Structure 1
Amino acid sequence: MGKLELFYLRVLNICFKFIAHSILTALFSKKKLTKEYVIQHLKNYLQSVFFLSINGTSFIGTFCVLRHILGHVNFLSASWLPGFISSVLAINAERPSRRSLLAIYVTNVASESLWNVLKERGYVKPIPKGEVLLFSLNSSKYNGRFRHHTCPHNGSCFFYTLKAGAVGWSKGYAFEVCFKLLFQFPRIIKNPLLIIQILSSKNAFGAAAFIGWFSAAFKGICCASRHISNRDKPVHGVYAGAFAALGMLFNSSPSLALYSFWKALETLYSKGVEAEVLPIIPGGIELLYSFSTAYLFHCAVWENFNLKPSYWRFLMDLTSGKIAGYNRILLDGYGLDSGRNQVWPDYDISKYFFDN
């Protein structure tokens, strides 16, 4: 089997995990899994395979074309330019409804990687539990739009809050466990005892505590605020969201905090466009995706130690570990310490290799 066929098999496998995750999410959100819903997801799956395939294969192709045109490889043509061009081609092959989500996701990962780079250079210093503060600010902004009739629920506020916490805890635990079981399935087949480890993992209980606290605290504070003021105000959602976000202390997640930040910016921008205060940027989503993905390719080649670990694992999975085979020691001349923890490859320079 050729290298291209192997690459497509990896893409199919990764996209299958994505669609399984989408269906799992639908189950937890109580959506009905109709025949039409599953067929539509299969169509989306095939289009995502096409999108991801273009992004991966055209990166290598663009790298080779640029090398032939320029006659050499430089700082930009080694990763960023091929990454940008291939991403522009790929994102235009994806469904328009998914482009915004993809752009926010890669921008989130790219901004986390950029933060790691700035921290590595000594330009910034991390704030202890800064992700909790960021998430609280974003949560208060988002939940400031919360508005209902005064205490619309049935029964007492106490049991309403208690139920919200219990349901949130159950969903958080179940989602984290199912997610781990899905992605660890090949390892579970070899070692079934891994299931016990997943069920009792700290991450599972941390996710449960986070979602449980967030749900209970938000609804409880909103109820208390209605009782105190004797009416419902949007501002109740502001401080309820900020306080509820402290649940992240149970399950710290810089990625989630950054994601909420970018979603808040997206909401503000959309509101600005609706109010005709901000302009609509033609192709802005596609450009945001392309710039962010290009930066991630750049980090993967030049400073893979600053890349988000889960994204590095994704690239390793996609390339069957070949991306780790770069001889980054040759890039040390640019002063980015690219060859850190690298070993000089054992090159095959035999006559047989060059003849074949």
Structure 2
Amino acid sequence: MASFCAILIEKATRRRPLALYLANLGSETAYRQLANHGYLPRFNRGECVPLIAGIVLIMYLYSSNRLPQGLVKVLKTCAGVDTKATHLNLKNAPKEFKKMLQQLREKFGKSDECVHDHSCTTNCTMNRIGVTNKMVKNMLSGGIAGLSMVAFPNVTIAMYVLWKAIEVLYCDLYNRGYIPYIPYGDIILYTISTGYVLWMAALEPQAVRSGYREFLMGLTGGRLALFNRHLIDSFGYKSSLIYPQSFQPDPLHSTINPMFYRPLREM
């Protein structure tokens, strides 16, 4: 209810970005919780999966001319799509990296269809193996490029790209009449996602992204840690794993569980 009231006082233009961010965080928290309890497997460098899915979906929409112009500009700037400019600035790059890149450029020249100054691995490989369909080429090369997160893992970026792609796809399908409009969808999404994340912050904080836990600690003046989580450890959530602190409530203003001070046989 607090999340619902909070989103109502936000500017209407900020509601969708906030809902998208909390949906991002909520889905990541849900995965961590399910993995903590053994319902889903854990993967090394699992950030690649949502990133690849998001990039493939974005490249599909781009190839179909269904990507909003704002995102088209971002895509062109980040990936150098349809431009002859070289976007990789090597001025401050390590010498070893420059040497490796030079060797790659010498051994693997660019294909005839390449528009860059040098070979672009996201496209030239597809040209060499005979992939001529532009949509397939863009989707495959985008998906392969998503493997770069193996070297630079960042779950925040990966989840943002995935949810941004889902948002764009939803808007596209709605504009084309395939799915209905959900009234107050951004408010509903924000309310459910935020409520779930805050619930997990109290019940199973290890399932919440560490950066967001630190944000909540600062926001609450450290009170996020002031739950007697050891009282619910027996339910299997390992609630006190990160915050083992406990406090004694004032008996004048609280009811103490009789199990803590009376023998079981007397109850």
Identify the TM-score tier after normalising by the shorter chain: 0.5 to 0.7
Aligned to 1:112: 28
Identity of aligned residues (%): 28
* Conserved? CA contact 1:110–1:293, under 8 Å: yes
- 1:344 deviates by 3.1
Aligned to 2:5: 89
- 2:151 is aligned, of 226, 246, 250, to 250
How big is each residue's C-alpha offset from its partner over 1:238-276, in whole Å with a ceiling of 9 and x where there is no partner? 122112212111111223222222222212211210111
- 2:184 is aligned, of 283, 290, 296, to 283
How big is each residue's C-alpha offset from its partner over 1:146-168, in whole Å with a ceiling of 9 and x where there is no partner? 579xx9645xxxxx4xx31227x
Q: Relative to structure 1, is the Cα distance of residues 250 and 348 closer, same or farther in structure 2, using a 3 angstrom cutoff?
A: same
Mapping of 1:1-356 within 5 angstroms?
85-144=1-60, 145-146=62-63, 153-154=83-84, 160=85, 163-166=86-89, 221-222=122-123, 233-332=134-233, 334-340=235-241, 342-345=244-247
* Conserved? CA contact 1:218–1:241, under 8 Å: no
- 1:216 deviates by 10
Q: Relative to structure 1, is the Cα distance of residues 218 and 335 closer, same or farther in structure 2, using a 3 angstrom cutoff?
A: farther
How big is each residue's C-alpha offset from its partner over 1:194-248, in whole Å with a ceiling of 9 and x where there is no partner? xxxxxxxxxxx9xxxxxxxxx9999553467679989883333212211221211
What SS does the aligned partner of 1:343 have? coil
Which amino acid is the alignment partner of residue 312 of structure 1?
R
* Conserved? CA contact 2:35–2:42, under 8 Å: yes
- 1:330 deviates by 3.3
Q: Relative to structure 1, is the Cα distance of residues 303 and 217 closer, same or farther in structure 2, using a 3 angstrom cutoff?
A: farther
Distance in 1 of aligned mates of 2:191 and 2:82: 45
* Conserved? CA contact 1:327–1:345, under 8 Å: yes
Which amino acid is the alignment partner of residue 298 of structure 1?
W
How big is each residue's C-alpha offset from its partner over 1:115-143, in whole Å with a ceiling of 9 and x where there is no partner? 11111111111133332133123212212
Which amino acid is the alignment partner of residue 272 of structure 1?
L
Question: Is there any run of 5+ residues in structure 1 with no aligned partner, and where?
Answer: 1-84, 155-159, 174-204, 206-214, 351-356
- 1:112 deviates by 1.2
Distance in 2 of aligned mates of 1:316 and 1:136: 32
Q: Relative to structure 1, is the Cα distance of residues 346 and 86 closer, same or farther in structure 2, using a 3 angstrom cutoff?
A: closer
Distance in 2 of aligned mates of 1:99 and 1:325: 30
* Conserved? CA contact 1:217–1:243, under 8 Å: no
Question: Is there any run of 5+ residues in structure 2 with no aligned partner, and where?
Answer: 66-71, 73-80, 98-115, 253-267
Q: CA RMSD in A?
A: 3.5
Larger radius of gyration: 2
Distance in 2 of aligned mates of 1:218 and 1:286: 46
How big is each residue's C-alpha offset from its partner over 1:315-346, in whole Å with a ceiling of 9 and x where there is no partner? 00111212211222333465533234523325
Distance in 2 of aligned mates of 1:216 and 1:88: 51
* Conserved? CA contact 2:56–2:139, under 8 Å: yes
Which amino acid is the alignment partner of residue 90 of structure 1?
A
Distance in 2 of aligned mates of 1:343 and 1:305: 15
TM-score (ref. length: structure 1): 0.52
Q: Relative to structure 1, is the Cα distance of residues 247 and 299 closer, same or farther in structure 2, using a 3 angstrom cutoff?
A: same
Distance in 1 of aligned mates of 2:50 and 2:235: 34
Distance in 2 of aligned mates of 1:92 and 1:216: 50
| RCO higher in structure (CA 8 A, sep ≥6) | 2
TM-score (ref. length: structure 2): 0.68
Distance in 2 of aligned mates of 1:243 and 1:217: 18
Distance in 1 of aligned mates of 2:176 and 2:249: 61
What SS does the aligned partner of 2:88 have? helix
